[in-house]
Structure 1
Amino acid sequence: MLASRKHTRLRIGLVVIIIGLIGIFWYRSPRTIIENDSSTIAEVHIKNGQTGESLSIKDPQQIDYLINNMNKGQLKRDGLSLGQMGYRYHITLFAKESDDIIGWDSFMINSSEVIRKDPFFYQVEYQLIDLNYIENLFTK
């Protein structure tokens, strides 16, 4: 009877440790923002969180630049974003009729190095987001 309880506790302990290790691996594993090729995106909607202005990008060359720029960087989770307000740009992607968005279809850019997709902040590594390009879209 006593040996049975020890084995049960040992098994429960091992399961907790394994689940914890899987959680740590998942939290620390890098990811990309958008897994789609730019040719599958029909429209990119951008809202400026500082001015409230919005615009829709339908030009394939502009979509290509935006998607490729965002896909060059890798992201690492960098803390919880729940309850946080404000953003620099809110990006929403719309796929062509025959395609689906793989990955994120909506996220917020706080800076060239920080992206927010609730419930997490993500640190951009290797290739920063080109905010100058996005800012210039609003001045055209």
Structure 2
Amino acid sequence: MKKFHNKRKYILITGLVIGLLYATTFIPQRVITTSPSSVSRIHVFDGQSGYELNLNDRDDIYAVMNNLNDVTFQKGKPSIGYMGYSYRVTLYDQDGDELDEFIINSEDTLRYHGFFYTAKSGNIDYDKFDARMTQVKTQPVEE
């Protein structure tokens, strides 16, 4: 009987520790932490129009990355099964390898690693993406 009690106590403590560790993932935190200096290109795909844009200019990269690094997000519900989005953003390093990928839904919501995240301090500079994408949409198509 004592063995059963010890085993039950061990399972209860283990479950509690795992639950507490998981709960800490819901503390507001910075989600995007990639250093701007390690990013050589930002690829943006507009999920509404199908247009794409590459940000290669260092000033643009620093502006976008510093903005994203400064926003603190609260983890929300799982995003599995949700379709549609505004902008899918992929970060690349100098070798062309993918550093990170996430989806920006609005100025205060992004999807990252299977969860929705809501901005708690600061906002995503969504207007910058809109303005750049508008430029791409109005450029004449080369044949």
TM over 0.5: yes
1:113 to 108, 113, 118: 108
SS of residue paired to 1:67: helix
Distance (whole Å) between structure 2 residues aligned to residue 3 and residue 55 of structure 1: 65
Q: Which amino acid aligns with 1:131?
A: Y
| Counterpart secondary structure, 2:40 | strand
Q: How many residues align?
A: 135
For 1:85, the equivalent position in structure 2 comes to 83
Give, as a single letter, the amino acid of the residue that structure 1 aligns with 2:10: R
* Structure 2 runs not aligned, ≥5 long: 136-143
Aligned equivalent of 1:124, options 119, 128, 131: 119
Runs of 4+ more than 3 Å apart: 98-101
Which of 56, 69, 73 lines up with 1:75 in the alignment? 73
How is 1:10-49 mapped onto 2 (pairs within 5 angstroms)?
10-26=9-25, 28-49=26-47
Task: Provide the alpha-carbon RMSD of the alignment.
Answer: 1.8
Q: What TM-score does the superposition give when structure 1 sets the normalisation length?
A: 0.88
- Could you tell me which of 115, 131, 141 is aligned with 1:136? 131
Alpha-carbon distance change, 83 to 98 in structure 1, aligned in 2, over 3 angstroms: closer
- Give the CA deviation at 1:100: 7.8
Shift, 1:45, TM fit: 0.4
SS in structure 1 opposite 2:17? helix
Q: Distance in 2 between matches of 1:61 and 1:126?
A: 23
Residues 61-118 of structure 1, C-alpha deviation per residue, up to 9 Å, x if partnerless?
01111111111101121101000000011100001139983xxx11000111110124
Structure 1 SS opposite 2:59: helix
Alpha carbons 1:70, 1:129 under 8 Å: kept: yes
Q: Which segments of 5 or more consecutive residues in structure 1 lack a partner in the other structure?
A: none
TM-score by length of 2: 0.86
Task: Work out the CA distance in 1 between the residues paired with 2:3 and 2:56.
Answer: 65
